């Protein structure tokens, strides 16, 4: 707590600009320290680390080696390779990869994360609705199925984009979530399961989203949720326990 956290997107800068951002030298008009200096004693996160050139990788390795053990600054690399058959280990020089890979965390692509898609979409929709001063879009059962079976090549960034566009469409009173997904993936089929997922997973993901949305809209009022969803108290309690939903999370 209280330590610096610096994020650098390696794919957002050309090699020369990235080298300057990481290692300097900086000019007074830049208004910031090199990332290595800025993060000293804290954490430096390198997003899309696979975009580093060979020369920049070598320089980063030198900085890491100079820190000794334990390291003064924690360096975290995020690799987001989309190419089939390639890994972060393939993209980085071996000595740098193994210096960074003492602890590895693999995050599955969004398309494999089931109900997380609907939960994230709902939360993002609420955030953008607050930002734009309008109601969050309603998600039908068909649209929920389409969100679940979309390929999401852009992962969470793409989901954020779709959620914001859905809110703007809803504010205008036109369009649908399905049309947004179709514009991103023209070849996407209307409603069908993918990757061998059983129908039960889609039904449960939609059911969880529906209960979650209703609980938040009624600020945790069990009676109001029971009335809107036509569920007896025992059934609602069982489903909330099944999906890990706590009434206390919705009280305001």
pLDDT confidence of residue 192:
43
pLDDT confidence of residue 19:
92
Structure tokens given for 189: 């089929």
pLDDT confidence of residue 7:
92
pLDDT confidence of residue 233:
86
Residue in 70, 15, 12, 61 with CA at minimum distance from that of residue 36: 61
Residue in 138, 141, 157 with CA at minimum distance from that of residue 149: 141
pLDDT confidence of residue 83:
57
Q: What average pLDDT does this structure show over 60-67?
A: 88
Residue 65 vs residue 85, higher pLDDT: 65
CATH class of the domain whose range is 5-100:
alpha beta
Residue in 110, 106, 107, 207 with CA at minimum distance from that of residue 149: 110
Contact 140, 134 (CB under 8 A): no
Structure tokens given for 231: 């569920």
pLDDT confidence of residue 190:
43
Q: Where in the chain is the domain with CATH 3.40.50.300?
A: 5-100
Look up residue 8 and give its DSSP letter: E
Instruction: Say what percent of the chain tops pLDDT 70.
Output: 88
What is the average pLDDT score of the chain? 82
Q: Which residues contact 232 (CB under 8 A, 6 or more apart)?
A: 226
Q: What average pLDDT does this structure show over 70-82?
A: 82
pLDDT confidence of residue 145:
81
The pLDDT tens digits of the residues spanning 135-189 come to 888 887 778 888 888 888 888 888 998 899 888 888 877 667 777 776 665 444 4
pLDDT confidence of residue 97:
92
pLDDT confidence of residue 139:
82
């Amino acid at each position: 707590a209280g330590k610096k956290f610096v994020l650098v997107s390696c794919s957002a800068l050309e090699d020369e600009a990235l080298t300057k951002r990481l290692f300097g030298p900086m000019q007074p008009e830049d208004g910031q320290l090199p990332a290595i200096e800025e993060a000293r004693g804290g954490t430096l996160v390198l997003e899309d680390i696979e975009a580093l050139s060979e020369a920049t990788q070598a320089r980063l390795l030198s900085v890491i080696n100079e820190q000794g053990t334990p390291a003064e600054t924690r360096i975290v690399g995020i690799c987001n390779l989309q190419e089939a058959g390639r890994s972060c280990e393939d993209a980085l020089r071996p000595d740098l990869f193994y210096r960074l890979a003492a602890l590895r965390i693999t995050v599955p692509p969004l398309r494999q994360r089931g109900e997380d898609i609907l939960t994230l979409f709902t939360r993002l929709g609420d955030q953008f609705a607050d930002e734009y001063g309008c109601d969050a879009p309603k998600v039908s059962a068909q649209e929920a199925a389409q969100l679940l079976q979309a390929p999401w090549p852009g992962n969470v960034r793409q989901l954020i984009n779709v959620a914001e566009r859905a809110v703007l469409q809803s504010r205008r009173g036109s369009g649908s979530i399905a049309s947004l997904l179709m514009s991103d993936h023209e070849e996407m089929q209307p409603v069908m399961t993918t990757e061998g997922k059983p129908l039960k997973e889609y039904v449960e993901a939609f059911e969880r989203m529906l209960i979650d949305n209703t609980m938040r809209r009624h600020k945790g009022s069990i009676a109001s949720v029971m009335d809107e969803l036509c569920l007896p108290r025992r059934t609602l309690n069982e489903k909330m326990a099944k999906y890990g939903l706590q009434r206390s999370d919705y009280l305001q």
